[in-house]
Chain A
Amino acid sequence: MLRKTIALTLLSASLIATNANAADKLIVSTWGGSFKDLIDKAIGQEFTKQTGVEVEYVTGGTIDRLNKAKLAGSAESDVTFTTSHVGWLYTNDGLFEKLDMSKIPNASHLVDQAKLSPNHIGVWGYVYTIGYRPDMVPEGITFDSWNDLWSPELEGMIAFPDWDPSHIIAVSAKLSGTDAEHWEQGQDKLKALVPNIKAFYTNDANSQQLIATGETSVQLLLSMNAYHMMDEGVNIKLAMPKEGAVLGVDAMGINKGSEQADLAYQFMNIALSPEVQASIARINRGSPVVDNAQVDPEIAKLPGMLTTADQWGATLDTDARLRAEKTAEWRKWFWENIMAH
């Protein structure tokens, strides 16, 4: 009888402990590597400090996590970090909760470009622009204009991302006098770029390896990755073409059916606090998406940092919903007409 009582007590205690553990953590879906470290350092640790709740991270590629969320059928994480246009795919497929903005008071300071949808909002900004090895490009080339990418002196020198041609499509459209919605008018301009393309990189790590080793001395790359490599000692310069760098906004949303929605709202509110936004700029050179963040002036003046309305307005901003709709069409055209040649 005593043994049974002890066994039952132990079993009950373990069940209670398990349930308590489940309530004591917030599961955040994010990219791995430096982005996960950024979220943990800037947001997660502050969240744990304020609430006492631990954060557990689930990492993976943007599309991998989207597919898993679609297939799971129920929320396997509480908060998801993704890109602005993939956030629309989450939204369109009912994978995000509709946000109650009254629970995210800090969101009242969001810049317009970060107000993405009723279901997801921006968390930091960056630009896709020209990064280059000044020791390896022809002398005198400084990329004052996007048109410089078409210079015959850059034959066989440039690398582009293979998973998203939306940036160079937006650039070609702009140089052809239109915008991404009417991208067909920029197709000839894009085809003329083929002789200068050396390779296509497949992810951030591949991009960093190719430019660090000098395999591709010019790239269209993400500003935050460029600053990460500069911190690692790689000799890279970022150019800000006069037509404007291509805007990127990373976003967050609450997974539909999350049982920790209240904690998720607290997490998102902390992420948008001016102090956390300033630390994101300091740690990884991500631009704050709120207008009340106090960014160190030395960081604010770096190429690609967006800290004023004018700077945000000067970027080439492709509507995230349009990007979500056009992704498949752009990729197919890009592969058939650019990559396959």
Chain B
Amino acid sequence: MTQRPAFVPWFVLPSVLTALGLMVAMLTVLQYSIRAHIPGSLDVGGYTLDNFQDLHKSIYINAFVTTAWLSIKTAFFGLLLSYPLAYALVRTRSGWMKSTILIIAITPLFLGEVVRTYSWIIVLGNSGFINSALLAIGLIDKPLQLMFTQTGVVLALVHVTMPIMVLMLATGLSHIDPAYRRAATSLGAGPIRAFLTITLPLSLPGIVASLTTAFAWTFSAFATPQLIGGGKVSTVATLVYQLGFSSLNFPFAAALSIVGLMLTVLLLATFKWMTHSLQRVGAH
């Protein structure tokens, strides 16, 4: 039997150090959340739970609900648009078509979120591409208000998350043994039935993974809700920035962050529990 070299366990060290660093950062945030804010100073005061008391107000609860709802909508609509793209990417036999779809899917990743968001401001504006096109073809007689609305924020966030969702779905689809589909076809199943009874169930692990990732990513999104939302769409991240970071009230920002993190964990755990049986269907 070949013995494992003695230095192999040391390869775990970087990840251990990273995990330790993250844990220290989280503990620091937790510590800040129970300290008092001193107006006009960057220092913090004694221990207190006052920072959490304000979060019971309905406007803060609304912000948490808005964030969760935006994340769910982004994940759902992202899936609707990403799945066909991922399916085409995996199923096409043409090399150049594969490359074209891949480039279209991942090119947005080459631009930062801020650059993409500024581009969406131009597209969504009253004089932007969408309104100009709809006015030109006569579908509307005055511009639709897309900026500073949840609709505009979701549109831009879907664009931000789509590249990752496409890649995750394509990975899941590519692991499905084509023999299953061939077997279904040989037994008389048409393309749609084969997709609904074979491909879709077997791609569920990829669907769940991409939905989870899109949800978690969107929950902490900042630049897009901040710029497209224009202060009218409040999310946890924009609140942390406006009420905490920019106001130098770090204790309150820390409290918002801790509650936001707990809500994310709770929602993701709930989603995992709900989809547990579905994932077992896709395991093969």
Interface residues of A (CB under 8 A from B): 63, 66-67, 70, 88-89, 92-93, 159, 162-163, 198-202, 206, 209-210, 213-215, 321, 324-329, 331-332, 335-336, 339-340
Contacts and interface: CB of A to CB of B under 8 A. Distances in A.
A261 to B, nearest CB: 23
Contacts of B57: 336
A166 B90 CA distance: 55
Contacts of B230: 159, 198-201, 210
B274 interface: no
9 contacts: A66-B42, A163-B246, A200-B230, A201-B230, A209-B118, A213-B121, A331-B247, A339-B232, A340-B59
A70 B127 CA distance: 43
What is the size category of the interface that chain B forms with chain A?
20 to 34
A108 to B, nearest CB: 29
Nearest to A164: B246
Nearest to A324: B40
- Dominant secondary structure at the B interface: loop
A215 B125 contact: yes
B240 to A, nearest CB: 12
A328 B249 contact: yes
Given A213-B126, A332-B243, A335-B239, 20 more contacts: A63-B246, A66-B248, A70-B42, A92-B42, A163-B246, A198-B148, A200-B232, A201-B231, A206-B227, A209-B118, A210-B230, A213-B127, A215-B125, A215-B126, A215-B147, A328-B247, A328-B248, A332-B252, A335-B234, A340-B59
A327 B41 contact: no
Contacts of A328: 37, 39, 247-249, 252
A327 B243 CA distance: 10
Given A328-B247, A332-B249, A209 B121 contact: yes
Contacts of A215: 121, 125-126, 147
Contacts of B37: 328
Contacts of B249: 328, 331-332
A212 B63 CA distance: 30
B209 to A, nearest CB: 33
A159 B230 CA distance: 9
Contacts of B127: 213-214
Contact of A339 (B39, B231, B252): B231
Give the 10 A-B CB pairs with smallest separation, nearest first: A200-B231, A199-B230, A325-B40, A328-B247, A331-B247, A328-B249, A340-B59, A162-B231, A199-B148, A324-B40
Nearest to A162: B231
- Dominant secondary structure at the A interface: helix
A200 B242 CA distance: 11
Contact of A331 (B122, B147, B246): B246
Nearest to A200: B231
Given A63-B246, A331-B242, A331-B246, A93 B41 contact: yes
Contacts, number: 95
Interface of B: 37, 39-43, 57, 59, 62-63, 118, 121-122, 125-128, 147-148, 226-227, 230-232, 234, 239, 242-243, 245-249, 252
Nearest to A217: B126
B108 to A, nearest CB: 20
Contacts of B243: 331-332, 335
Nearest to A334: B242
Contact of A340 (B62, B118, B121): B62
A204 to B, nearest CB: 13
B246 A326 contact: no
B124 to A, nearest CB: 9
A139 B131 CA distance: 25
A332 B246 CA distance: 11
A202 B227 contact: yes
B45 to A, nearest CB: 13
Contacts of B242: 162-163, 331, 335, 339
B247 A339 contact: no
A214 B126 contact: yes
Nearest to B37: A328
A99 to B, nearest CB: 20
A294 to B, nearest CB: 38
Contacts of B226: 202
Contacts of A335: 234, 239, 242-243
A128 B241 CA distance: 23
B212 to A, nearest CB: 29
Given A70-B42, A163-B242, A340-B62, A327 B147 contact: no
Q: Which of B62, B231, B249, B252 has the most CB of A within 10 A?
A: B231
Nearest to B246: A163
Nearest to B128: A213
A331 B39 CA distance: 12
A88 B243 CA distance: 19
A334 to B, nearest CB: 9
Q: Which of A198, A321, A339 has the most CB of B within 10 A?
A: A339
A332 B42 contact: no
Contacts of A327: 39-40, 247-248
Contacts of A63: 245-246, 248
B40 A89 contact: yes
Contact of B234 (A159, A331, A339): A339
Contacts of B234: 335, 339-340
B39 A326 contact: yes
A14 B3 CA distance: 48
Contact of B147 (A163, A199, A202): A199
B67 to A, nearest CB: 13
Contacts of B231: 162, 199-202, 339
B122 to A, nearest CB: 7
A88 B39 CA distance: 12
